[in-house]
Amino acid sequence: MSIIGIEIPRLEEDQDISVEVKINGIKKQYNYRVEIFYWEECPFPTEDRVECIKNLVSSYDQRWDLAHIGLPTDEYIPITFRKKRE
């Protein structure tokens, strides 16, 4: 799948984003969710943040696929999920 960057006003917790595009005249809709995960709330605390991210993603709602892992800060990491097609 190709990627197009879209500006989203201010990153906040629990954003649901719906994008409708036309590709060769055919409308398609995609649904995304941006979640903020705080390191201190990692389900299995560890020094290895990659392991924390793996656990967060693998235990996330199975109706959503991982779309993008954002830039981490010392406090949190934003992760974007894309809703699976039905």
Q: Which residues sit opposite 82 in a β-bridge?
A: 32, 65
Report pTM: 0.79
Phi, psi of 49 (to 5 degrees): -70, -25
pLDDT at 79: 92
Average pLDDT, the chain: 86
CA distance 50 to 17: 26
Q: Which amino acid is at 64?
A: W
Task: Give exposure, 35-51, as e/b (b: 16+ Cβ within 10 Å).
Answer: bbbeeeebeeeeeeeee
Stretch 33-37: mean pLDDT, rounded?
Answer: 91
- Quick check: 19 pLDDT over 80? yes
Stretch 58-64: mean pLDDT, rounded?
Answer: 93
Q: Which amino acid is at 4?
A: I
Radius of gyration of the chain (CA): 15
CA distance 75 to 59: 20
